């Protein structure tokens, strides 16, 4: 038998009614490489071992049966089978599931072979309930715009087992007492590269009473009763993989705290505490995390918008509780007594209070100050002002700053005449500062509000609903720091993106295309950077980490530097696909001047963030290329 490129791992237990479908789907693959099929049966009491043996007799060079003489459990059965694998890649499919596309393996291996940095490749799966007890559906739903990366995978498992192909690693140290194993295996492999996705349904996942996770649907508490300890250990092992990353650690411990609450509810405090004693260091980490979470809650509540006497009483109460938790934490640190359940119960009550207060109007301020640096080109600026007058919602501010361009007095006169009946503010720099220093001056010195900041070029025209949609995206997650809209001229965020046109696509033609595809796009794309022509930024992020670094002179690359800088602190950025703003192109510099500035500033940017180029390339492959295919089909 030749050395296989791919090892298919299929574990079985009492699956006589399903195993033939799985094996037939493996053997019918159209592939140009050798493979092996390792079928590990966990001492089934039905005809499953006999069926496996029959298939082995017909396919002795491909199918390798492992028929155990005693039951070892699904986790041990799978791990030991993976340790037997010889292939460069490993594909998983349990014996009660099956593949529906004969080209599945070839497509996934082609992607992995052409992209050596990908360590996991998966695709959507159709979920079917036996007997039609429930309506089938597809997971994951790629139309939601979910970004398939490690951070998202830590929050929730979006990879179905029978869709995955791994780049094979060392499996000698995989723990054998954790659940769910598939989620852990995904996270284990994600350490070694990126996650590849093929947006095509190519397999079926059966839900039936004999499946391990059937009770998750019919009686979820039974899962906790049976696997509660193994599920807690899952979080501990994931923390060992990713705990050095502060952002990842917060996600892991948050999940662990939620699971601990559920374990206490189902199994009782005494039993849950016994489970936690087996992993004391991890329990200690969870307690510390929950104390810190309580401190954050108190701090956020104390800076809420309507901080009246009644709210202040709540703040005082929570602050006193937080002080008590800190003392309790110190006592636990000394005595190693793990009174976790009491604390988590109190923390849950605090969160409920916070949510209740939010529903009563205690919400963060989401008004915006629009900052428009002005250099020249009155004609474009006039269009910008008129569009804001038409489409900017009431309650938001506009701040125009004249940066002393060639026609400084003429521009000033025109601005003053056109905003005389508007509640817009106008300032003039004493000398030309350039875009970066002008933006910084606006945020640090001139704007006296606590509003979020929208940096808007003067050569833009906004459209209906643009700000509402950008704000919605900005606050869909606390991790999103900045948002940009779609445009005709916004580099990789242009519609359509065509490098050959120097990104400046004919405005109306771009907008016509956008209207055709708008509702077919997800609401948001996650991106490594946003675009300075129209960039909405949370004020809280600016307050913590500043705005633009003035090392970039009068402009270019400063917004990417800002975005990469705050990414280091766990933030991400987004494109609002429901918002569109016209951008008519640079008027401040000639093409030669612009190209020279970009070249010089790119040297700084890439020296600081060498990973920036790959992040942008990944964004293009993940979002731009599929969008281009969509545009070609529709237009």
Looking at per-residue pLDDT, the higher value among 455 and 272 belongs to 455
pLDDT of residue 406: 87
Whether residue 137 has pLDDT greater than 70:
yes
Query: In terms of residue numbers, what domain contains 29?
Result: 6-215
Picking from 194, 215, 236, the residue at the C-terminal end of a domain is 215
pLDDT tens across 147-186, in order? 789 998 998 899 999 999 999 998 988 888 888 899 999 9
Q: Which helix (H) or strand (E) holds 41?
A: strand 35-41
Residue 426 lies inside a defined structural domain of this protein: yes
Residues 278 and 206 grouped into a single domain: no
Residues 471 and 328 grouped into a single domain: no
Contact 531, 455 (CB under 8 A): no
Residue 173 lies inside a defined structural domain of this protein: yes
pLDDT of residue 252: 84
Looking at per-residue pLDDT, the higher value among 336 and 115 belongs to 115
Residues 280 and 337 grouped into a single domain: yes
Whether residue 280 has pLDDT greater than 80:
no
Contact 5, 88 (CB under 8 A): yes
pLDDT of residue 275: 61
Residues 329 and 412 grouped into a single domain: no
pLDDT of residue 289: 54
Question: Would you place residue 14 in the very low, low, confident or very high pLDDT band (cuts 50, 70, 90)?
Answer: very high
Number of domains in the chain: 3
Residues 345 and 198 grouped into a single domain: no
Looking at per-residue pLDDT, the higher value among 424 and 207 belongs to 424
Picking from 336, 359, 382, the residue at the C-terminal end of a domain is 359
Residue 151 lies inside a defined structural domain of this protein: yes
Q: Give dist(CA 574, CA 471) in Å, integer.
A: 11
Residues 181 and 35 grouped into a single domain: yes
pLDDT of residue 319: 55
> Poorest-confidence range of 191-205, 344-358, 442-456, 546-560?
344-358
> How many Cβ atoms sit within 10 Å of the Cβ of residue 143?
12
pLDDT of residue 534: 96
pLDDT of residue 143: 62
Q: Give dist(CA 24, CA 95) in Å, integer.
A: 11
Please list, in sequence order, all residues whose beta carbon lies within 8 angstroms of the beta carbon of residue 564, skipping any fewer than 6 positions away. Answer: 528, 529, 605, 608, 609, 612
The CATH number of whichever domain residue 391 belongs to comes to 3.90.550.10
Residues 402 and 324 grouped into a single domain: no
Q: Give dist(CA 86, CA 109) in Å, integer.
A: 16
What's the N-to-C CA distance of the chain in angstroms? Answer: 51
pLDDT tens across 194-252, in order? 999 999 999 999 886 666 555 444 555 666 667 767 777 888 889 888 887 878 887 88
Mean of pLDDT over the chain:
82
Question: Would you place residue 387 in the very low, low, confident or very high pLDDT band (cuts 50, 70, 90)?
Answer: very high
pLDDT of residue 100: 96
Most distant CA pair in the chain: distance in Å? 91
* DSSP per-residue string spanning 150-193: HHHHHH-----GGG-EEEP---TT--SS-S-HHHHHHHHHHTTS
Whether residue 30 has pLDDT greater than 60:
yes
* Residues paired with 575 in a beta bridge: 484, 525
Rounded to the nearest angstrom, the gap between the alpha carbon of residue 555 and the centroid of all alpha carbons in its chain is: 30
Mean pLDDT on 530-556: 91
Q: How far is CA 259 from CA 222, 228, 325, 528, 586, in A?
A: 14, 9, 20, 31, 53
Whether residue 506 has pLDDT greater than 70:
yes
pLDDT of residue 300: 45
pLDDT of residue 360: 45
Residue 388 lies inside a defined structural domain of this protein: yes
Residue 1 lies inside a defined structural domain of this protein: no
Residue 127 lies inside a defined structural domain of this protein: yes
Residue 196 lies inside a defined structural domain of this protein: yes
pLDDT of residue 24: 96
pLDDT of residue 142: 66
Question: Would you place residue 358 in the very low, low, confident or very high pLDDT band (cuts 50, 70, 90)?
Answer: very low
Residues 209 and 278 grouped into a single domain: no
Looking at per-residue pLDDT, the higher value among 309 and 62 belongs to 62
> Poorest-confidence range of 35-44, 318-327, 394-403, 434-443?
318-327
Rounded to the nearest angstrom, the gap between the alpha carbon of residue 118 and the centroid of all alpha carbons in its chain is: 17
pLDDT of residue 583: 93
Residues 209 and 299 grouped into a single domain: no
- pTM value? 0.50
Residues 255 and 186 grouped into a single domain: no
For the ranges 202-211, 322-331, 442-451, 580-589, the one whose mean pLDDT is highest: 442-451
Residues 252 and 175 grouped into a single domain: no
Picking from 192, 215, 238, the residue at the C-terminal end of a domain is 215
pLDDT tens across 567-617, in order? 989 899 999 999 999 998 755 556 677 778 788 888 999 999 999 999 999
Question: Would you place residue 483 in the very low, low, confident or very high pLDDT band (cuts 50, 70, 90)?
Answer: very high
Residue 384 lies inside a defined structural domain of this protein: yes
pLDDT of residue 244: 79
CA nearest to 51, candidates 81, 16, 24: 16
Question: Would you place residue 332 in the very low, low, confident or very high pLDDT band (cuts 50, 70, 90)?
Answer: very low
Whether residue 5 has pLDDT greater than 90:
yes
> Poorest-confidence range of 90-94, 144-148, 300-304, 351-355?
300-304
Question: Would you place residue 454 in the very low, low, confident or very high pLDDT band (cuts 50, 70, 90)?
Answer: very high
Whether residue 190 has pLDDT greater than 90:
yes
Residues 99 and 200 grouped into a single domain: yes
> Poorest-confidence range of 18-32, 353-367, 594-608?
353-367
């Amino acid at each position: 038998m030749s050395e296989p490129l791919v090892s298919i791992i299929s574990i079985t237990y009492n699956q006589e009614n399903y195993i033939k479908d799985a094996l037939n789907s493996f053997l019918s693959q159209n592939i140009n490489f050798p493979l092996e099929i390792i079928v590990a049966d966990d001492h089934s009491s039905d005809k499953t071992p006999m069926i496996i043996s029959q298939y082995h007799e017909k396919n002795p060079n491909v199918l390798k049966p492992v028929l155990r003489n005693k039951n070892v459990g699904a986790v041990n059965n799978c791990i030991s089978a993976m340790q037997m694998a010889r292939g460069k890649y490993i594909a998983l499919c349990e014996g009660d599931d099956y593949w529906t596309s004969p080209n599945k393996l070839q497509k996934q291996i082609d992607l992995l072979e052409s992209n050596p940095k990908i360590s996991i490749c998966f695709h959507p799966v159709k979920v079917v309930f036996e007997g039609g007890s429930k309506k089938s559906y597809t997971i994951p739903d790629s139309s939601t715009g979910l970004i398939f990366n490690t951070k998202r995978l830590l929050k929730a498992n979006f990879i179905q087992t029978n869709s995955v192909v791994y780049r094979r690693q060392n499996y000698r140290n995989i723990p054998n007492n954790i659940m769910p194993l598939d989620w852990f295996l995904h996270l284990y492999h994600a350490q070694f590269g990126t996650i590849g996705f093929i947006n095509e349904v190519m397999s079926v996942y059966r839900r039936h009473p004999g499946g391990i996770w059937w009770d998750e649907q019919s009686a979820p508490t039974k899962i906790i009763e049976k696997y509660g300890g193994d599920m807690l250990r899952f979080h501990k092992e994931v923390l060992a993989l990713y705990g050095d990353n502060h952002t990842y650690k917060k996600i892991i411990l948050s999940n662990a705290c939620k699971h601990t609450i559920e374990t206490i509810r189902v199994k009782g405090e005494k039993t849950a505490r016994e489970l936690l004693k087996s992993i004391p260091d991890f329990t200690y980490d969870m307690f510390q995390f929950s104390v810190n979470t309580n401190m954050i809650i108190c701090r956020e509540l104390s800076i809420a918008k309507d901080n009246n006497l009644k709210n202040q009483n709540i703040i005082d109460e929570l602050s006193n509780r937080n002080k008590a938790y800190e003392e309790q934490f110190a006592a636990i640190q000394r005595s190693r007594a793990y009174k976790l359940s009491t604390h988590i119960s109190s923390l849950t009550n605090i969160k409920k209070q916070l949510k209740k207060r939010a529903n009563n109007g205690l919400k963060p301020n989401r008004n915006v100050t629009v900052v428009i640096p002005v250099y020249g080109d009155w004609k474009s600026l006039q269009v910008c002002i008129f569009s804001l007058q038409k489409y900017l919602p009431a309650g938001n501010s506009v701040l125009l700053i004249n940066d002393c361009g060639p026609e400084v007095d003429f521009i000033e006169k025109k601005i003053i005449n056109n905003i005389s009946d508007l509640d817009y503010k106008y300032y003039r720099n004493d000398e030309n500062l350039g875009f970066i220093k002008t933006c910084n001056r606006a945020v640090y010195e001139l704007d006296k509000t606590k509003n979020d900041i929208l940096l808007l070029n003067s050569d833009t025209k906004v459209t209906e609903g643009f700000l509402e949609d950008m704000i919605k995206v900005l606050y869909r997650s606390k991790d999103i720091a900045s948002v940009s809209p779609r445009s005709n001229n916004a580099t990789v965020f242009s519609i359509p993106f065509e490098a050959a046109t120097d990104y400046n696509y004919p405005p109306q033609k771009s907008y016509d295309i956008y209207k055709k595809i708008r509702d077919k796009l997800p609401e948001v794309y996650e991106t490594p950077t946003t675009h300075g022509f129209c960039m909405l930024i949370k004020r809280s992020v600016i307050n913590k980490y500043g705005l633009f670094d003035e090392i970039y002179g009068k402009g270019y690359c400063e917004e990417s530097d800002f975005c990469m800088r705050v990414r280091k602190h766990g933030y991400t950025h987004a494109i609002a696909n429901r918002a569109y703003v016209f951008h008519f192109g640079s008027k401040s510099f000639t093409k030669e001047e612009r190209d020279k500035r970009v070249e010089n500033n790119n040297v700084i940017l890439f020296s600081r963030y060498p990973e920036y180029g790959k992040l942008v390339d990944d964004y293009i492959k993940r979002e731009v290329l599929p969008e281009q295919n969509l545009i070609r089909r529709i237009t």
